[in-house]
Structure 1
Amino acid sequence: MKPVERSVSWVERHALGVAAAATAAVIAVMFYLPVGIVLSEAVGIAPGFPPAVSLDAFAEVLSDSFYVGALAGVGADPFAVSRHADNVASWAAAFLAGEAGLPSFGLFGFTAYQALLSTVASVALGLPGAYVLARFEFPGRRTIRSLTILPFILPSIMVAIGFIAMFGRRGVVNDLLATVGLGPIDVMGTLSIVIVAHAFYNAPLVTRVTAAAWESVDARTVETARSLGASRRRAVLDVVAPQLLPAVLTGALLTFVFTFMTFPIVLALGGLRLATVEVWVYNLLGNMNYREAAALATLETALSLALTYAYLRYEARQAAGSRGANPLQRVPLFPSLGSLRSPVRLGVLAYAAVVVVVFVGPVLSMVWTSVTGPDGLTLAYYEFLVQRQAEGSAVQTKPWPAVRNSLTFGVATLAVALPMGVAAAVVTTRKFRGRAVVGALAMGPIAVSGIVTGVGLLLGPVFGIPLGGGWRLQVTGATAIVAAHAVAAYPFVTRSVAPLLGRLDPAMVESARALGASRARALVDVELPLVAAGVVAGAAFAFAISVGEFDSTVILAEGSKSYTMPVAVERYRGRRLGPATAMGTVLLVVTSVSFVVIDRLGGRFERG
């Protein structure tokens, strides 16, 4: 065998191992190392052997009433719990009573409080949608169900701009109220608008998870209960509800985790007055208070990891399985005009109106505001973007570099995250000792916010890590941003591909191996074509997440070089709403077109 042929043969035999090792190296350097740097900055590790460790930063946070409210005394003297029982009781009472002031709650308490309210709102808004999708048949049902994935695609800063355009003092809602002689409403900067915006993102998640569980309910169990004398209401409460409860709790727990780590929504709609932990970390970074920011980020990460672990354990034990063999029969939503008088159908229509206001209204309001001014329809805001591009100075935020950078970073992220996600999916679907641990480590970025990753990258690879001998590990600019985006995106590729790989018949791979194919060749020629839908979905997710990513990008983007469209939207928001809505509309178009293009190309690949 010639040397070239031997090299090719070696590569084929070891391709999967090399890909898995490369993926592990990227995750270690671009995720776990930055997270470790945040921890080391928080604990103040000093050089030497053994290294000196100081927990002063944590002690300062946990004993500061600004951060923990009435629990500050417990943090200052944790062994005197009995002396602080009254403080703990008053804190809990204030929490349950909804007295959401920072003096009693503290920053962590307020963050948890708004996450709890957001979770309740998301569940309340998401459950009726699950009922409609699971129990009724109507034109466009599948399309509407597929739209429940939008929260993972639409950039959060763009949605925040949409809420400002709709509910702001000069927004669409107040314009409509003025036409009928009613005074303006002012909800911006309030907790209510933040909760509604969170529901925009998380109610579809509750709907999607619960609808899948509803469709898994076996109709025969309901029929058995009815045959034993149970009324329709009792059958739902005793048979259907217990089977839906795990899915509802899963959606609620995920919503709490996501809203506890909220950043762009609160930053744009509430500012520092309604600051959550993430927003305050960002504020501390702006003031170059890196140690306190690292301590806060570490505490938040510990809480989010604990909640995510609880979710994964709960999902593994109780999550609804695959669609039942005999699912509940869906009925026509409006079988006749007379059915419009049915209380259930009237309720569905009322719910549809709420959906239009909460989910469609902000996006349409952003687009409408971008083409209207005090004197009516106008393109002045888009002309402003064109003029800024043509005449703006080098340090000003221009639209074309933002679009170019977003697309470039998106393509680069796709090139990195797609093979990483597929490699992680292949590894985590193979049976071996320690697979659960490897799977948990691979999915770690889901439980850690982009702010924490951005802080770690900034304090580590961006500033530079001395390696000794005059060498220095440094990753800056576009490379750091792509690394952060890839770390955030690849778990979604894994989640899209792994379930499909796990359901494939192992005999197909074994047959290919028996015919002489290497493991890598069997993957490429046999397995990946069969899971092409998951690969395409993962690719679309990776690209869309990169284009819309804001949390880590706003930290890592250099002033005039590597800002993206979401960062440009935030910078324009600081000037006037009009240019921000115009840039947000450009972001909406680019994100939607990109997602559709990737999906269509994937469809061709599947058919081929």
Structure 2
Amino acid sequence: MRAPDRLQHAVDRFGLPAVTVGTGVVLFVLLFLPVSLVFAEAFGGPSPLQSFRDVLTDPFYTGILANVFADPLAVGRHAGNVAAWVGGIEVGLFSLTVSLPPLRKGLFGFTAWQALLSTTASVAIGLPGAYVLARFEFPGRDTLRSLTILPFVLPGIMVASGFYAAFGRNGFVNWLVGLVGAGPFNLLETNPLFVVILAHAFYNAPLVTRITTAAWESVDRSAVETARSLGASRRRAFRDVVLPQLRPAIVTGALLTYIFTFLTFPIVLALGGLELATVEVWVYDRIQRLQFADAATLAVLETGISLALTYAYLRYEAAQRAMGGGDGPEREPLFARFDAKRVAIAAYGLVVLVLFVGPLGSMVVESLTDGGGFTLKHYAFLVERQATGQSFQTKPLPAIVNSLAFAAATVLVAVPMGIVVSVVTTGGERGGSGGGGNSDGRGPGRAVVETLTMLPFAVSGVVFGVGLLRGLVFGIPLPGGWRFTLTGTIAIVAAHAVAAYPFVVRNVAPQLAGVDRRLVESARSLGATRTRALLDVEVPLVATGLVAGAAFAFAISVGEFDSTVILASDSASYTMPVAVERYLGRRFGPAMAMGTVLLVVTAVSFVVVGKLGGRVESDSRPGGGRP
């Protein structure tokens, strides 16, 4: 047997098991081990459970629930307190005011409350965008859809700077309202929580839009036409036929948004500080004060809550998984006529302009101006730093090259990891006849395993970063006096892959669950190995999910900051987000210029990925790609 044939045979026989083992090793070293080192702090004291009791019974952390945790068996007293609180509600019969007794939320309560407000805002802003992208055709639609992933790459500190520039006293918003004789307003001082919610919507509304658009484009058009032919009005057909098909995607986007905003950190810290502290901000503050035991206790409780939310999300997704995809509604020209619907779309476009273009545009303006007006000196500083900077200084070009190289490598690692996890977690729910997945064969045990594989969703960036620092960077003691350390390029790519592979799984697993199992069994009966059946039968059928997952992985790698700044061994391995942060601490103008470069480079990259995804989607359809 020739060497190429032997290599092919080895790949066919051992490829999937080898990738599975490699995925397990990466997850253990880069995820479970660092997180367990942080959690060990919470259980390492003389009385481990006492630290949890101290937190749960402290009104600062749990608000009105502190008494419940302190004496959970006193049901009567707790019920009386609730009745007294409800009895204190005063509703004005002839006014719009409602007077409520003070409600002490506590740190966890406020975190949950702001996450609820942020999720509501994200869904309310994201759904109209999905409607426009799914139902209308207009120039630049595909490009705009590709750019919905752009907020994922922006470092939180840069977005916070953009919101300062947009919503400050001399910002874009005040200029806009000044055109109609209103203002000026300073929302950052008068209502910082509102600005934080808008910033969260800036990040997460595009996620809701992207998920819901994909679902809307897969609506069964024939079912809608059948309902209309039976006399249903357009509104009734939407309510009874389209909305049930969209509901899983809407709930999925809302749950993901809630998880992300529950774990929020940089936006709240930058825009609200400790006055609007979430659990994550307080964990960071405890770490800054070297109170690791308190930080670890809060991190364990926070992760437990987010894991429960992730479990609920996965169970719901499995129960509501669509039975099959349709060809979606026909898109109508957006500018074909002028009516009330298009006026509403124009008004929505103005909101999008303020919320999304405002902060980004303000950042670009800041990179091109100073106190005296237009200038290119901030970009000249970047060119000068690249040409004459010392080796220890942050140079722009290596940061750009590193970001793109790390992102490409992350895709190569995260996509196989995502495929392996998808195969493992959907093994018992493959479609039997091409009609779609079957969630009946999926028990709670499999959902628990899937929840653990989605741990990057549930573990905060601060906890993950501290775990990497205390584990891989400081080193893990080994027998014989050795220490295991891991930094540099390999560690950065692996950490990015760990953060990104869940998004590959969420795009691939639903499609993989819908693959007709008999196709795989037929390939196996003809002599194909499990690896060959996966590569030749299943992967081509889930190509669109793979491209979407790869786009998310690319975006997350480009925008990843926490693990990169910890694992980068020197300035030569810095990325664009790290360069923005380094400049921001010293020179605001060059930081905004570097942020603008980040925007341009990543926007071009996502447009290219979007075009590639469109070609793959076309080629994966019956007859697609043929002359």
TM range (shorter): 0.7 to 0.9
Q: 2:381 aligns with which of 378, 384, 400?
A: 384
AA in 2 matched with 1:353:
L
Match of 1:579 in 2: 590
Q: Partner of 2:478: helix, strand, or coil? A: strand
Contact 2:150/2:603 (8 A) holds in 1: no
Structure 1 residue 446 corresponds to structure 2 residue 457: yes
Residue deviations 1:162-204 (CA, integer Å, cap 9, x gap): 3233223343334556688765321236111111121122223
Match of 1:547 in 2: 558
Structure 1 residue 57 corresponds to structure 2 residue 58: no
Match of 1:48 in 2: none
Structure 1 residue 104 corresponds to structure 2 residue 115: no
| TM-score normalised by length of structure 1 | 0.83
Distance 1:9 1:343, change over 3 A: closer
Q: 2:498 aligns with which of 487, 503, 518?
A: 487
Distance 1:253 1:136, change over 3 A: same
Q: 2:468 aligns with which of 453, 457, 472?
A: 457
Contact 2:321/2:510 (8 A) holds in 1: no
List runs of 5+ in structure 2 lacking aligned partners: 92-96, 430-440, 620-624
Residue deviations 1:336-388 (CA, integer Å, cap 9, x gap): 3xxx2x33232122112212222223222222221122222211222233445
Match of 1:359 in 2: 356
Distance 1:294 1:309, change over 3 A: same
Q: Partner of 1:55: helix, strand, or coil? A: helix
Q: Give 1:560 shift.
A: 5.3
CA distance in 2, matches of 1:346, 1:160: 31
Contact 2:149/2:555 (8 A) holds in 1: no
Contact 1:454/1:553 (8 A) holds in 2: no
CA distance in 2, matches of 1:381, 1:102: 50
Residue deviations 1:440-489 (CA, integer Å, cap 9, x gap): 43333233333332222223333322233333333235544333211011
Q: Give 1:584 shift.
A: 0.8
Q: Give 1:137 shift.
A: 4.6
Distance 1:196 1:423, change over 3 A: same
Equivalences for residues 42-81 of structure 1 within 5 A: 42-44=42-44, 54-80=48-74
Contact 2:147/2:607 (8 A) holds in 1: no
Identify which range, 85-94 or 115-124, moves more after superposition. Answer: 85-94
Structure 1 residue 19 corresponds to structure 2 residue 19: yes
Q: What is the identity percentage for the equivalent residue pairs of Structure 1 and Structure 2?
A: 62
Structure 1 residue 423 corresponds to structure 2 residue 403: no
Structure 1 residue 197 corresponds to structure 2 residue 204: no
Distance 1:153 1:345, change over 3 A: same
Structure 1 residue 317 corresponds to structure 2 residue 329: no
Contact 1:278/1:451 (8 A) holds in 2: yes
Identify which range, 520-529 or 264-273, moves more after superposition. Answer: 520-529
CA distance in 1, matches of 2:540, 2:225: 40
Equivalences for residues 177-196 of structure 1 within 5 A: 183-188=183-188, 190-196=192-198
Q: 1:371 aligns with which of 364, 368, 373?
A: 368
Distance 1:20 1:573, change over 3 A: same
Q: Partner of 1:185: helix, strand, or coil? A: coil
Match of 2:257 in 1: 255
Distance 1:174 1:460, change over 3 A: same
Distance 1:507 1:76, change over 3 A: closer
Match of 1:470 in 2: 481
Q: Give 1:332 shift.
A: 4.5
CA distance in 2, matches of 1:131, 1:596: 21
AA in 2 matched with 1:475:
L
CA distance in 2, matches of 1:98, 1:540: 47
Q: Give 1:392 shift.
A: 5.9
Contact 2:520/2:538 (8 A) holds in 1: yes
Q: 1:277 aligns with which of 276, 279, 300?
A: 279
Aligned length: 595
Equivalences for residues 582-593 of structure 1 within 5 A: 582-593=593-604
AA in 1 matched with 2:363:
M
| TM-score normalised by length of structure 2 | 0.81
Distance 1:531 1:119, change over 3 A: closer
AA in 2 matched with 1:590:
V
CA distance in 2, matches of 1:315, 1:89: 37
Match of 2:269 in 1: 267
Q: Partner of 1:104: helix, strand, or coil? A: coil
Q: Partner of 1:19: helix, strand, or coil? A: helix
Q: Partner of 1:422: helix, strand, or coil? A: helix
Contact 2:268/2:276 (8 A) holds in 1: yes
Q: Give 1:601 shift.
A: 7.1
CA distance in 1, matches of 2:546, 2:569: 32
Q: Give 1:13 shift.
A: 1.7
Q: Give 1:20 shift.
A: 0.8
Distance 1:196 1:604, change over 3 A: closer
Distance 1:574 1:556, change over 3 A: same
Q: Give 1:438 shift.
A: 4.5
Q: Give 1:406 shift.
A: 2.9
Q: Give 1:594 shift.
A: 3.8
